[in-house]
Structure 1
């Protein structure tokens, strides 16, 4: 493979005008390729050396090349590249460049300028994992969004949690900074998804339930919340990561292992935890008491189910 072929392979067919000149193409040859519809102009000064729709990686490379030296995919674009958020078709690609460099945003491309130094990583270049997580969280509109990003970070890049916290401590003007640090602490404690975080906050803490052991390794998988002392396991199924067949198999292995230990497994989804947290709390409390817990849950508010029902609650399901 020669240098030109290697360049096209690495950049998924996207090249700059300067790169074309450096490899011996003249303006006339470039114009002829465009006129013959064998190539296409993606962005002024950026060409794609094939016809037809542009794949995601080609679009990302075109964006980085347009932004120039030192540029990196960032924000939601880098978030999808690192797996910190689900892949989806973006209305606009995001890139970050160091100040005082200047590059213009245009339709389909948002250029951010950063005073804080950063080192582009990967191919195409992205902001690093910790920097990407912080940028995503700075733009989050809810605690659920924060928990979702940080949960994926903890699952896939646990070694980056300390670096992420350090970057946030340096950003004294970051929006929702205190919320970020609080959610990050919960994630570090084992709440590795938005659903798991809501269970911790809205079910467990809000109703005075004992805190379970999180992410306990069992039979090659992990239990979301385990109360060994009270022989109770709680699984929170968002189905965000695994396909249905894989998920069903892992659930079976995990639940069978729990059954062998005489543990009861309770399973809840997003709707249960978000729409009926008080009912879930009542059922969990009833199960824990059956396993030996000698305390009582507390109502989360005057209108809470636990404030209205006699305890033990006879039918929490």
Structure 2
């Protein structure tokens, strides 16, 4: 019970010599409290998330945590992408049939044995597979942030997640997810640069900037040389070392010495708000002397109106 956060199943009680009449006595004395049919906890208060997760595994057995619940169990209560009030996700083998229960979202899988880390406490889908399956259902920015957080947790690496992607048949957006993971693994801005070109610059008829021009202290991500405007694309979602922070400040200092206007854009501006970003970049370029015209990427595009304002 200590290993299972104070929970135990009816089958486990039976294995340890607890007869049905013994169990009834423990329940009457409130030494055990039933959470779900066949699942018990050793206190009368509100069960914690971990205890409810264990109860689901006991009740639906053979079962393991899946999706966000698997990641929550692996990465701990401080993982910021999880809502502890949400349904607990459970996976069972394809041939298992269980009656649904409020508070749990149960899926069946033909690859149960391949995906599940059975010795884990609690049993759960492997971090790499869970991260990919969850990320494949999210929008671009949320998927990038979640994958980066998982890889930075030290529970896995981007390389291992890429390897896992090759084992998931029919994984949605496999190529894009692999690109993002490659970006995380290599510390480059390739995905972000591609996003800026295809979501911000080209669809809104901004002038085509010069890419990766070598300068003292590094390279310019995007440079509009005719008007002296620089766009730095910060593909790293973290600054986890003093050296990384120092490199950023050095690039900004070089831009100031060269009398270049430099702005720094991240994942949110490129993937979540590309039209607003195009409008603001267009405004900067116009102030610096650009005589072109910003064009909306669609009828609903807000960039031209933002630029004119």
The structural deviation recorded for 1:132 is 1.0
In structure 1, the residue matched to 2:199 is 202
The structural deviation recorded for 1:253 is 5.0
The structural deviation recorded for 1:32 is 2.6
* 1:95 paired to 2:90: yes
The TM-score, its normalising length taken from structure 2, stands at 0.67
Q: How does 1:77-156 map to 2 (within 5 A)?
A: 77-83=69-75, 86-116=81-111, 117-121=113-117, 122-140=120-138, 142-156=139-153
After superposition, what is the alpha-carbon deviation per residue over 1:248-302, rounded to whole angstroms, capped at 9, x for unaligned? x999756544345456753457479616121343367689x99xxxxx9985638
Q: How does 1:284-303 map to 2 (within 5 A)?
A: 301=297
* 1:74 paired to 2:72: no
Structure 1's unaligned 5+ residue stretches are 1-7, 291-295, 310-314
In 1, distance between residues paired with 2:220 and 2:293?
Answer: 18
Would you say the 8 A contact 1:234–1:265 is kept in 2?
Answer: no
RMSD: 4.7
Structure 1, 91-100 or 8-17: larger mean CA deviation: 91-100
The TM-score, its normalising length taken from structure 1, stands at 0.65
CA spacing shift, 1:152–1:286, aligned 2, 3 Å: farther
Q: How does 1:151-190 map to 2 (within 5 A)?
A: 151-156=148-153, 157-168=157-168, 170-171=169-170, 177=172, 179-190=173-184
Would you say the 8 A contact 2:201–2:278 is kept in 1?
Answer: no
In 2, distance between residues paired with 1:280 and 1:184?
Answer: 30
In 2, distance between residues paired with 1:85 and 1:167?
Answer: 27
Q: How does 1:265-304 map to 2 (within 5 A)?
A: 266-268=263-265, 270=268, 274=273, 276-282=276-282, 301=297
In 2, distance between residues paired with 1:72 and 1:163?
Answer: 22
The structural deviation recorded for 1:95 is 1.0
Work out the number of aligned pairs and report it.
276
In 2, distance between residues paired with 1:189 and 1:251?
Answer: 16
